Structure 1
Amino acid sequence: MKKLIIISLALLSIACEEQKPTMLYQVQEQSFAIEIPAKGELFAAKATVISSPVSRGGVQNIAWLAPEYSTVKKGDVIARFDGEAMEVESERNQNEAAIIAQDILEKSGSLNKDLYAINKDISVVGQEKAFADQFSIDDIRIRSKLEIIDSMQNTAYLGVKQDYLHWKSDSFNESSMGDMSLLEMKQQQKQSKLAQLSESLEKLEIKAPHDGLLAYKANWRGEKPRAGQSIWPGQKIAELPDINEMKAKLFVIESEAVGLVVDKKVNLQLFAHVDKPFSGRISSVAPFPKSIKRGDPQKYFEIEVSLDEQNTQLFVPGRKLQAHIVVEEAQPKLIVPLQSVFTKDNRSFVYLYNGKDFTQAEVELGKANLSHVEVISGISAGQHISLTDQEQS
């Protein structure tokens, strides 16, 4: 019985010694590629921009929009704006212009009446002075000295009065011209305002400049125009793209944007047609990352991709897609998972399993993708390494 127990304990001890840790990875040479995932949409390389009408009426409200991605013909209405506020303002200005016109008539009549009275006084005084000059008698044999002096004073008075009335006429003409000019200026301002409103009312409808596929333009928050939205004059609201030359716009997470340079190959798939993959090459990379969604702090690099082939039936502006950017083509290399590599004191190492325990093996690393990294030296194929940090185990 004792021998049986001893043999059982010995076998159990041997089994425990031969049992390997479960979190091990066997190093081996595998096909290794560096591909960066991205998402985005198709857009036209060339497009006619459609903007809201430029007017002095300020912000305008969209009343109606044609369906997006609908085919429009030249002259078709794309958007219609609410003109109620401008119509009310136009009516108010018309009423004010009519009041000013009536004021001009009344002022003109009043001025003409006053001017007629002044001219009549000038005529009467002129006749009296002419009569006094013509029949003035200064012979003391006929008239007394007092009468002669009185006659001379009367003639002088009429002369002064005549000069005063001429001055009054000139002053009245100047002041009346100022009053009339002010009213005429107000009338011109109202007429100019009415002309602007009339022009703005004529621009309440935006029509297609040529045939094309209608695609609305998103603002910096990613929002596209909609009925009821307020639009600034001159703001871009839509495009009529040329679908004969399409491109892809991709967004790559900032932390994953490594090795993105022009002419790198890109494999793409439309979400609506995953069975029809296509390819292209990077044509431009944004110099700085940016946020693409309101309230999302995550930033992305924007990339434009020139497509290797065009398909007018399949490629529609705005269609969403996914892509993989091939930074490095697949090649056989010695690779290990990223989680198996640790760093300390500016050196990289793995925990190498020797059959009983683990030892640190310093490694020289090469390129990496999102899950694995190339090992240039330090370990060889067939060896086992730990996937966890043994110092914390």
Structure 2
Amino acid sequence: MTARPRNGATGRLRIAIPVALVAAFLFGGWTLRNKLAADRQGTWVHATRGDLVTGFEVTGTLASEATQALGPPPLTDVWQFKIAFLAPEGADVKQGMPVLGFDTTELQRRFDEKSAEADEARKQIDKERNDLSLGTKDERLKLAEAEARLRKAQLKLEGPPDVVGINDRKTAEIEFAIAKRESSAIKSRLGDLERAATARIALLESKQADARAIVDRTRQSIEQMSVKAPRGGTVIYTTNWRGEKKKVGDNCWKAERVMEIPDLTRMKGEGEVDEVDAGRVVVGQRVALRLDTHPDEEFHGTIVTAGRTVQQKKATQDPLKVLRVDIKLDKTDAAKMRPGMRFTGTIELTRARNAVLVPREAIVVSSNGPSVYRRGAFSVSLVPLRLGRENDKFVEVLSGLQPNDRVLVSKANDEEGQS
């Protein structure tokens, strides 16, 4: 009596289990097919929570807040220089290392010429002194003889009259007068010789001193033509108004900048804002920027100065007018940042904090308005959204999604957004 119901329940169970398995298999297959079809249409990304910033574009290059510009040395008698040596751009140098050199051919020619002139003047001075010594030697002998005769005649004149006769006295007087005139004449000739020689020697010494001064100055100039790094850092070539950099063999003028050795621990952004957005620039605005060389990392800063007038875009023939701004970075990454690196950024106008964000490319238009395809555990569904603000990359979701929900970015929308 009791076995039949038990057998009937068992039979029903045997039928229900396969049916459930078939239904689960069919549902799983349908779900899998749905998901695979969606996967082929695009990429699944997570809705995120973060700040949505709206603003306008700024582009520019990095520069050091403290940089040492290097160029021709400040020589008083050289105006045009020819580059003979350049340290490689990007090279890391230490303080005191030669980084820039100029041709010294003309200075070396002047050095050799004036050195020879100074040596010749020295030889002439030595010759004049030798000639003076030889020229005065005979005269001094004659002077000594004349003075001896003068003393001898004077002794005769000083003798007693009863010892020196009248004739001898007259002879002594004549000899005394002759010796005196001769001695005086010799002294005069000696004085003339010495004065003339002294004048010639003084002239030669002046000539030698001038030549030696030029030699010393030229030697210093030659040393200055090799420019050494005033501090350690990285070599950066500067560009002229045409965007050209100097190379070995180029000429440059006095005070022209050839290279810089910047302080890589203190970098800033030198930005340019399109003329149409110039009126929206305010000192103190926040800036988010990405380097072309490191596009995946975002850096932040603040506008500290802004130009008063628009100017032509730098290093280009493009007539586009821009407003120039200086951006103080919140931090400097010396390993990734180098002067001259280009960046693209956004100057902040508004900021929605702690918002739910999805890529613009994930939004589709349906009969219910803006929507996204959301991936659930067992299905893909079209979810209508209420949207807030947006920028060029993200849209604020006010309702309809939670952070970490997976939404579909279709290939068509993604390609359209990238183009």
Calculate percent identity across the aligned residue pairs: 22
Q: Distance in 2 between matches of 1:124 and 1:259?
A: 107
**Which amino acid counterpart does residue 180 of structure 1 have in structure 2?**
I
Cα drift, residue 183 of structure 1? 1.3
For structure 1, the 5+ residue unaligned runs are 1-32, 332-393
**Which amino acid counterpart does residue 144 of structure 2 have in structure 1?**
S
RMSD over aligned CA atoms reads 3.7
Q: Aligned to 1:43, which of 54, 58, 63?
A: 63
For 1:108-119, list aligned pairs within 5 A: 108-119=129-140
Shift in CA distance, 321/127, structure 1 to aligned 2, threshold 3 Å: same
Cα drift, residue 222 of structure 1? 4.9
Q: Distance in 1 between matches of 2:237 and 2:304?
A: 24
Q: Distance in 2 between matches of 1:296 and 1:186?
A: 59
Q: Distance in 1 between matches of 2:241 and 2:179?
A: 83
**Which amino acid counterpart does residue 326 of structure 2 have in structure 1?**
E
Q: In the alignment, does 2:92 pair up with 1:92?
A: no
**Which amino acid counterpart does residue 44 of structure 1 have in structure 2?**
S
Partner of 2:24: none
Cα drift, residue 243 of structure 1? 2.3
Give the TM-score of the pair, scaled to structure 1: 0.62
Q: In the alignment, does 2:243 pair up with 1:243?
A: no
SS at match of 1:257: helix
Q: Aligned to 1:318, which of 332, 340, 346?
A: 340
For 1:203-352, list aligned pairs within 5 A: 203-219=224-240, 222-232=243-253, 236-252=257-273, 257-287=278-308, 292-293=314-315, 301-326=323-348, 328-329=349-350
Paired residues, what number? 296
Give the TM-score of the pair, scaled to structure 2: 0.59
Q: Distance in 2 between matches of 1:288 and 1:162?
A: 92
**Pair member with larger Rg:** 2
Q: Distance in 2 between matches of 1:222 and 1:150?
A: 102
Shift in CA distance, 161/233, structure 1 to aligned 2, threshold 3 Å: farther
Alpha-carbon contact 1:36-1:257 (below 8 Å) kept: no
* Between structures 1 and 2, the one with greater helix share: 2
Alpha-carbon contact 1:249-1:303 (below 8 Å) kept: yes
Partner of 2:181: 160
Partner of 1:376: none
What are the Cα deviations for residues 85-113 of structure 1, in whole angstroms up to 9, with x where unaligned?
22222222222222212212221121112
Q: Distance in 1 between matches of 2:76 and 2:95?
A: 27
Q: Distance in 1 between matches of 2:174 and 2:111?
A: 64
Cα drift, residue 285 of structure 1? 2.3
SS at match of 1:312: coil
Shift in CA distance, 306/109, structure 1 to aligned 2, threshold 3 Å: same
Q: Distance in 1 between matches of 2:87 and 2:324?
A: 29
Q: Distance in 1 between matches of 2:280 and 2:183?
A: 99
Structure 1 segments of 4 or more deviating over 6 A? Answer: 137-141, 294-299
Q: Distance in 1 between matches of 2:208 and 2:325?
A: 57
Alpha-carbon contact 2:128-2:201 (below 8 Å) kept: yes
Q: Distance in 1 between matches of 2:191 and 2:70?
A: 59
